[in-house]
Amino acid sequence: MSDFERFKELQKQMKAYQLALSVASWDSNTEAPKASFPYRSEMLGLISGEHFSLQTSEEYRRIVDELDRNPDELNDIQKKEIKEAKKNLDKIVKIPKKDYIEFTQLVNLSQKEWETAKEKSDFSIFQPYLKKIIEMRKRMLGYRAPDTHPYDVLLDDFEEGMDREQYDAFFQTVKDELVPFTKKVLKRREDPPAFMNARYDRDEQKAFVEYLMGVFGFDFDKGLLKESVHPFTWGTHSKDVRFTVRYLEDYLFSSIFAAIHELGHALYEQQIDEMFDMTNLNGGASKGIHESQSRFYENMIGRSRAFWEAHLPALKQRFGKQLKDVDVETFYRAVNHVDESFIRVEADELTYPLHILLRYEIERDIFEDRVSVDELPDLWNRKMKEYLNIDVERDSDGILQDVHWSTGMFGYFPTYALGSAYAAQIYYTIRKEIDFDRLIREDNLQEINDWLREKIHCFGSSIGPGEILERVTGESFNPSYYVRYLKEKYGELFLGGESE
CB of 234 to Zn ion, least distance (A): 12
Q: Is 294 in the site for Zn ion (CB under 5 A)?
A: yes
CB 74 within 8 A of CB 68: no
- Which region among 147-155, 215-223, 270-278, 290-298 touches Zn ion (by CB under 5 A)? 290-298
Please identify the residue of the shown chain whose CB is closest to the bound Zn ion: 294
CB of 355 to Zn ion, least distance (A): 14
CB of 199 to Zn ion, least distance (A): 28
Q: Closest CB to Zn ion among 294 and 299?
A: 294
Q: Closest CB to Zn ion among 376 and 421?
A: 421
Q: Out of 159, 160, 262, 291, pick the active-site residue.
A: 262
Q: Closest CB to Zn ion among 294 and 351?
A: 294
- Which region among 60-68, 162-170, 289-297, 435-443 touches Zn ion (by CB under 5 A)? 289-297
Q: Known catalytic residue: 262?
A: yes
The footprint of Zn ion on this chain (CB under 5 A) covers a number of residues equal to 1
CB of 168 to Zn ion, least distance (A): 24
Q: Closest CB to Zn ion among 294 and 322?
A: 294
- Which region among 92-100, 294-302, 372-380, 477-485 touches Zn ion (by CB under 5 A)? 294-302
Q: Is 351 in the site for Zn ion (CB under 5 A)?
A: no
- Which region among 26-34, 287-295, 309-317, 420-428 touches Zn ion (by CB under 5 A)? 287-295
Q: Is 292 in the site for Zn ion (CB under 5 A)?
A: no
Q: Closest CB to Zn ion among 294 and 406?
A: 294
Catalytic site positions: 262
Report the interface residues with Zn ion, using CB under 5 A. Answer: 294
